[in-house]
Structure 1
Amino acid sequence: MTDISDLVVYVRVVDQGSLSAAGRELRMSPAVVSHRLQRLEARLGVRLLNRTTRKVHTTEEGEIYYGHCLRILEEVEKAEQALTESRENPSGLLKITAPVSFGRRYLAPLIPDFVKAYPEVEPRLHLTESLVNLVEDGFDLAIRVGRMEDSSLMARKLAKDHRYICASPEYLEKHGTPKIPQDLLDHNCLLLRFPGSRQFKWRLVEDGVSHFLAVKGDLDTNNSDVLLDWALSGCGIVMKSQWEVGEHIKSGELIPFLEEYVPQDNVVAALYPQGKHVPPKLRVFIDFLVERISHPVPWE
């Protein structure tokens, strides 16, 4: 394949009418310019220029080739300009994945305001309870809620994820309130199960040590909103984030307990693939989330 820089040399020589003039413009010696032209002609197998002592003239083939070179270099310039503009101006598709409940409550309502601020960015919001592989599935950003495990992804913390173990007053009146974590084993715990989830084992902290308690219950689902509805209906005990149950605890519909045993190292975070350059569309969206979610946290 022809080196694009050889095309630049050829066009400059034709435009200037001499090797030395083109060399001065390109900051090359006439010998280097001549060598580049010879290499180009050898690759093409045709003579492009007729050379005299002071001037060069295109052959018939050279004139045809010159026209094509101008169009090619113009397209290259347009492509580079487009990349420059995309680096400076947020634009293009932005594929986002988030948990269903969090995405519906706190992310989806923000999207219209973001689009108003950045009309050339086109968000595509995918809500799922499954963990999506950002690189393999072509996503720009994932909102994750939980503990941030070691990952090859970059992470930007948006907020703390305060957790509660709670149940309705009706359930606790009928079955009693657990006093220590082990008491949960004798209660009906409402379980969130989906591929990759570990939440059927509740992580609790006792004397500074984390324990995974294999709680049981007769109801489980892969939808966190359903789980909350069951808890509000008095079906059992649930472990939930503040952004899910805060309003219900405040109203008295749910009663928290065992608070000293619930670890508080979970976070809401924006995760994105590592790279030297973060696209403007992604950078401004993350900054937008920090502004709208982190200060102040809407569910506190």
Structure 2
Amino acid sequence: MDLNSLTLLVEILDASNLSEAARRLKMSRANVSYHLNQLEKSVGVQLVRRTTRRLEPTEIGLRLYQHGLTIRNALRDAHESVTTLGQELQGRVRLSVPSGYGQLVMAPWLIDFKRAHPGIVLDVLFENRVEDLVRDEIDIAVRVMSEAPPNLVARDMGRVRYVACASPGFMASREAPTDLDALRAEPLITSTVIGRQLRLAGYLDGERHEVLLEPTLISENFLFLRDAVLGGLGIALMPDYVVQDDIAQGRVVTMLDRWRLSIYGTRMYMVYMPNRHHTRAASTFIDFILERARAAA
């Protein structure tokens, strides 16, 4: 067994299949399979179980993987320390952020970070889907969740507060709803999955209520939804950061203020793979954004 064999095992298990490992290693799939077989022969036990969908480590394979991961990360740290000695921080960070939160809240933070670290390449995806961090090679993702996922490292960025709101003109000729069921009769504006009913949860005096609603205007673009609210098209259910300036200026009024509302979850998390090595660039980025999030909260 040599160092190259251990790092090969790490890449194979991180990729979860031979084809993806071959792509990352810039080798043929047959070559990757051959080296894995040779490693298993040298150890004398099976290290990887092959299923129809993915590769999983055996108990011995997992132990070797953990050793190999430690060694690979230490080598990367040593190489980075030598190559960046006396230089500005460099590297690449691939980031996935929600479209609304990313544009309306995080954009100034990202610009400030880039200004402070011009040598770091920021690759920012604005999207709302829950992606596979391994498959898409995402270093860090920011998502609204009800609770932290057990298979990822999750750093709490603070609470997300949802509001029910509308323009004063829209509400001038009607009574404001006082409970969740009253929303059924209203034209609703929100971000949700097209073709599925909106499941709105609300908490009042320690009790949880839930109602299924059918929005009349749906989009993942929160700036468009804000324009729809200002245009008097209905009652919106959205995070408060989308309309907080409009509320302060009286362009938007809120209702159901005693309720704590939730659609996707009430906490914003920064998540990343527990076994993914973070470069100095990624670690610096994580600390920078968490500090900004704490200050904003």
TM-score range relative to shorter protein:
0.5 to 0.7
Aligned-pair CA distance for 1:81: 4.3
Separation in 2 of the partners of 1:205 and 1:90?
46
For structure 2, the residue ranges without an aligned partner over 5 or more in a row are 5-74
In the alignment, which residue of structure 2 is the partner of 1:104? 103
Q: Residue 187 of structure 1 aligns with which residue?
A: 186
Quick one: structure 1 residues 156 and 79, their matched pair in 2 at CA, closer, same or farther if it must change by over 3 Å? closer
Give 1:163's aligned residue.
162
2:282 matches 1:285: no
The answer on whether the counterparts of 1:93 and 1:121 sit within 8 Å (CA) in structure 2 is yes
TM-score, scaled relative to structure 1: 0.65
Structure 1 residue aligned with 2:11: none
- Cα RMSD (Å): 3.1
Q: Secondary structure of the residue that 2:182 maps to in structure 1?
A: helix
- Using the TM superposition, give the Cα deviation of residue 85 of structure 1 relative to its aligned residue in structure 2, in angstroms: 4.1
| Counterpart Cα distance in 2 of 1:2 and 1:135 | 26
The equivalent residue for 1:148 is: 147
Q: Equivalents in 1 of 2:184, 2:259: separation in Å?
A: 15
Give runs of aligned pairs for residues 14-25 of structure 1, distance below 5 A.
none
Deviations 1:168-197 (A, max 9, x none): 1111122321122211111111132337x9
Aligned to 2:7: none
Deviations along 1:108-147, one digit per CA (max 9) or x if unpaired, are 3333332333333211001112222212110000111343
Q: Which runs of 4+ in 1 moved over 6 A?
A: 1-4, 86-89
| Cα offsets for 1:168-227 (capped at 9, x unmatched) | 1111122321122211111111132337x9882211124523333112243222322222
Between the aligned residues of both structures, percent identity stands at: 23
Worse-matched range after superposition: 218-227 or 126-135: 218-227
Aligned residues, how many? 223
Please, which of 212, 215, 218 is the counterpart of residue 213 of structure 2?
215
Q: Which residue of 2 aligns with 1:121?
A: 120
Alpha-carbon distance in 2 for matches of 1:277, 1:253:
47
When normalised by structure 2's length, the TM-score is 0.65
Deviations 1:30-55 (A, max 9, x none): xxxxxxxxxxxxxxxxxxxxxxxxxx
- The answer as to whether partners of 1:129 and 1:194 remain within 8 angstroms in 2 is no
Q: Which amino acid aligns with 1:82?
A: H
Aligned letter for 2:136? D
- Structure 1, residues 85-116: CA drift from partner, whole Å, max 9, x if none? 47998532110001112212232333333233
Q: 1:276 offset after TM fit, Å?
A: 7.7
2:137 partner letter: G
**Which has the greater radius of gyration?**
1
Matching residue of 2:227? 229
Q: Structure 1, unaligned stretches of length 5 or more?
A: 5-77
Structure 1 CA distance for aligned equivalents of residues 288 and 207 of structure 2: 37
Task: Pick which of 84-93 and 275-284 moved more.
Answer: 84-93
Task: Answer yes or no: is 1:252 the counterpart of 2:235.
Answer: no
Decide whether aligned partners of structure 1 residues 276 and 123 sit closer, same or farther in structure 2, where only a CA change above 3 A counts: closer
